[in-house]
Amino acid sequence: MVHKSSWPWSRRQLKWDPPTPLDRMLSSPLLYLVSLIYSILLSLRGPPFKSPRNKPSIRIVCISDTHSNTLPIPPGDVLIHAGDMTNSGLAADIQAQIDWIASQLHREKIIIAGNHDNFFDPKSRRQEDRNKQLNFKGVRYLVNKSVVLKFKGGRKLNFNGCPGIPRIGSHSAHAFQYESTDSYWTTRIPPQTDVLITHTPPAHHLDISLGCPALLSAIWASKPRLHIFGHVHSGHGREAVYWDPGQAAYERLCASLGDTGLLGWLWNAREWLDVGRVVFYGVRGILWDRLMVGKAGGNGSLLVNAAVVWGSTTDVGHKAIVVDI
């Protein structure tokens, strides 16, 4: 059973549950308002990218955090699983998920590990799995590496997969963890990456304030066309991003106003300037870039949190997300 809050003005019970309007208001009324404005402006700016003219689009089906569940998967060219295939992390359970993924009709299937997929990380592999092996059955497993795939119409896409998450527990309990002070992401993502697959989300985007700031800096540097992740179940969804000063201002506000309380936002002039930047660049993206110049669709990326289970549960509560690129 999926456990969803029935009353929006209640408080969430766990940090992994989606924050209610009351949670967000008490944390920072200004950030709550700016987030609403930012979302509206994004929805009016149009798609962050367009498929090349006169060439067929490539359909990518995104899932993550299945936690040993299976679900109906839409057709497409590529099926991507962004980690946490299991709860136990045991080889047998991972193999069952690989078997299910391999049975899908997509021409290409790509997986990365999540922190619950212990078998893939020697530091967290269970003792009973020490001498076991997996049969990938044609499914591509990426761990800190890239693969270039060719598609109809002569198109190519570069996929890069990285399983790491900021540390949340012992290395024996969770796979592929790094310390917040590590330079894990400094040179991890090649600049030519078209589709980035990570398990952790970047900070301030589809992460309910649990994402990684270092990963955010890394995607600013590499600007992948599509970034697929999971880990934070309650962040499920898609979000366009535009690499402009308005987005940078929004992310600074998320970092500075995250827990300032009801009145803590009143006195900082810099934060009010950033509010102005969010609005200005959002409106400019609608009125100038999209309507006047008509160049919308070339300077942005799409972020996808593909987690299919709900909140802090392991019950399926979301569908796969389909992206044409």
Beta-strand pair 300-305/156-162: unpaired
With b for 16 or more beta-carbon neighbours within 10 A and e for fewer, the 132-149 pattern comes to eeeeeeebbbbeeebeeb
For the chain, the structural domain boundaries read 48-243+299-324
Token pair 């969804």 in the structure block, residue: 237
Model confidence at 200: pLDDT above 80: yes
pLDDT tens digit string along 141-157?
999 999 999 999 999 99
Q: What local confidence, expressed as pLDDT, does residue 260 receive?
A: 58
Q: Among 105-119, 185-199, 246-260, where is mean pLDDT lowest? A: 246-260
Which has the closest alpha carbon to 123: 112, 111, 113, 136?
113
Average pLDDT over residues 295-303: 76
Please determine, for residue 293, whether its predicted confidence score (pLDDT) is greater than 70.
Answer: no
Asked if the model's pLDDT at residue 321 lies above 60, the reply is yes
Q: Residues 6 or more apart from 162 whose CB is under 8 A from it?
A: 112, 142, 143, 144, 185, 188, 189, 196, 197, 198, 199
Q: Where are the beta strands (DSSP E) in 129-282?
A: 140-141, 145-150, 156-162, 165-166, 177-178, 195-198, 226-229, 237-242
Query: 38, 50 in Cβ contact below 8 A?
Result: no
Residue 216 CA to residue 254 CA, distance in Å, equals 12
The CA-to-CA distance between both ends of the chain, in Å, stands at 34
The whole-angstrom separation of Cα 150 and Cα 183 is: 32
Beta-sheet pairing, 59-63 with 78-81: parallel
Please state whether 65 falls in left (phi above 0), alpha (psi between -120 and 50) or beta.
left
At 219 the pLDDT is 97
Provide CATH code, domain 48-243+299-324: 3.60.21.10
Q: What is the pLDDT of residue 25?
A: 75
CA dihedral 141, 146, 151, 155 (to 10 degrees): 170
Choose among 156, 148, 137, 131: nearest CA to 58: 156
The strand pairing partners of 304, in sequence order, are 228, 238
Top-confidence residue, 41 or 16: 41
The pLDDT, as a whole number, for residue 257 is 80
Task: State the pLDDT at residue 265.
Answer: 54
Angle 291-219-251 (CA atoms, 0-180°, nearest 5)? 70
Helices 29-44 and 245-256, packing angle to 10 deg: 160
Longest dimension (CA), the chain: 63
User: Average pLDDT, stretch 270-289?
Assistant: 90
